[in-house]
Amino acid sequence: MRMIDIIRKKQLSRALSREEIRWFVSGYSSGEIPDYQAAALVMAVWFSGMDEEETAELTSAMAESGEMVDLSGVDGIVVDKHSSGGVADTTTIAAGPIVAACGGMVAKMSGRGLSFSGGTLDKLESIPGFRTDLSMERFIEMVNTCGVSIIGQTKQLVPADRMLYALRDVTSTVDSMPLIAASIMSKKIAGGGNKILLDVKWGSGAFMRTSESAERLASMMVEIGKHTGRDTRALVTDMNQPLGNAVGNALEVEEAIRILRGELEGDLKDLIVELCVHMLEMGEVCSSRSGALREVHQVLEDGSALEKLKEMIGLQGGDPRVCDDVTLLPQAEKRIAVESSVGGWISSMQADEIGIAAAFLGAGRMKKEDVIDPAVGCWMKKRIGDQVSAGEPLAVLYVNRETDAEEAAERIRSAVTVGEGRPKPRDLVVSVLS
């Protein structure tokens, strides 16, 4: 085969064969195919797309480019849950312990923050002592012991995706639907999951800006699951404002803990409950939605979900006392209110700008080598549909470097639109595909 022929074929919008796709992935992963030819093919895919068969073959080839995790040692049905990214999305940290407290099994390999989107590993590592670099043996042992473990992906997992993503990032091809779907699903497949629940976001704080594009991506990933023999279900959910109120690593852990303690209500808790219901159904712990809802509410009310989080934290080297005393989490030196300049109703938010504002404070990475400050971020005081008066706080910044505070505050003010009338509420869950 010649790479130039494969590039030309895709430029002409013709479908690539299984053999061509696998030859490309193998050659690029081994270094035999240079970046400039891989970039040409990626750009051709961006313009011409891929059909279902091509996308499924690309996903499988990428998944098999490195280590394939074997979860057969787990004593039960493992359900993997993945979010397509967003702002203040702390669902994994609360949903895992809830499902485990109900008798389910959650073996989760998570990632780090990207652009305005926070990463579960960064959040968990704000807990003093918490380790995300467990061996596979210890990972499986932990799941068998307490029903839940959340660790980082190994460098041996899906190297082809890591190489292709870096290439897409610098060639403006990140937003290719088949490449997004293959990237997400290759990691899920290589991670050993046979039951996969996807939370596909849409809106100003998501990579998919419309509900229609999010549904197309969700449908594509469900089809990949079908092609590769994985039981896959997808929820399309709203990310037109931060999902929770906390944006920042230790702050988001605190919010998850307070939800498990029964202290907070709202969209974040509602979506956590919804995700847990689907995970319990897929994991065959509960045979009906009503039964799953009862189980979830029971473990929240009796405190067993919080105890499960404590157990997981302790087993992964962290200090479980943070669940009883959140001040043991990293604390910022100063709090600064971001006040509204006008009165009215909160009509919209640019959630990505709020995520970037937190990153400016040190909660995220502006460059890949940046070191995250786990204590900083912001706590939103208002949500879409709330009324606000001039001079009333929209958010509170948690700051260690005051020099960055004014730019972060201005970004939040600009990100929040205040109108005259109360906006119509939107559905948190737009659709479910399976």
Give the model's pLDDT for residue 369.
65
Tell me the average pLDDT across 419-434: 93
Domain boundary among 301, 323, 345: 323
Which member of 89, 161, 352, 373 is catalytic?
Answer: 161
Contacts of 229 (CB under 8 A, 6+ apart): 194
Same domain, 192 and 305: yes
| 82 classed as catalytic | yes
Is 183 in the active site? yes
In a domain, 376, yes or no: yes
pLDDT (mean) for 150-157:
86
Mean pLDDT, residues 192-212 taken together? 92
Active site residue 161: yes
User: At residue 85, does pLDDT exceed 90?
Assistant: no
Selecting among 22, 108, 123, 168, the annotated active-site residue is 168
Q: Full-prediction pTM beyond 0.85? A: yes
Q: What is the per-residue pLDDT for 110?
A: 85
For residue 136, the enclosing domain spans 79-323
> Is the separation of the CB atoms in 79 and 200 below 8 Å?
no
Mean pLDDT of the chain: 94
Query: What's the rounded Cα separation, in Å, for the pair 268 and 255?
Result: 9
CA distance 185 to 191: 10
User: Of 167-176, 237-246, 375-384, 407-416, where does mean pLDDT reach its minimum?
Assistant: 167-176
Active site residue 227: no
The verdict on 318 and 190 lying in the same domain is yes
Query: Given pLDDT bands bounded at 50, 70 and 90, which one contains residue 193?
Result: confident
pLDDT for residue 116 is more than 60 = no
Q: Which of 10, 112, 123, 187 is flagged as catalytic?
A: 187
CB 236 within 8 A of CB 430: yes
pLDDT attached to residue 117: 60
List the single range of 26-35, 203-212, 330-339 with lowest mean pLDDT.
Answer: 203-212
Residues 44 and 93 in one domain: no
Sign, CA torsion 334/260/268/76: positive
- 403 vs 318, residue with greater confidence: 318
- Whether 376 shows a pLDDT value over 80: the answer reads yes
| CB atoms near residue 53 (< 10 Å) | 15
Residue 229 included in any domain:
yes
Inter-axis angle of helices 18-30 and 52-63, nearest 10: 30
Task: Choose the catalytic residue: 10, 82, 108, 112.
Answer: 82
425 assigned to some structural domain: no
Q: CB under 8 Å to 19, separation ≥6 — which residues? A: 1
* Residues 329, 128: Cα–Cα separation, whole Å: 7
Percent of residues in the chain assigned helix, strand, coil, to nearest 5: 45, 15, 35
Claim to verify: residue 135 and residue 267 sit in the same structural domain: yes
Catalytic residue among 176, 183, 204, 211: 183
Mean pLDDT of 21-34: 96
Q: Is residue 71 included in any domain, yes or no?
A: no
Residues 126 and 16 in one domain: no
**Structural contact between residues 264 and 306, judged by C-beta atoms closer than 8 angstroms:** no
Alpha helices for 147-248 (secondary structure H): 159-170, 177-190, 211-227
pLDDT at 137 over 80: yes
Number of H helices, E strands in the chain: 16, 13
- Reported confidence tier of residue 149, pLDDT bands at 50, 70, 90: very high
- Residue 169: predicted pLDDT: 78
Q: Is 16 exposed, middle or buried (0-12, 13-18, 19+ CB in 10 A)?
A: buried
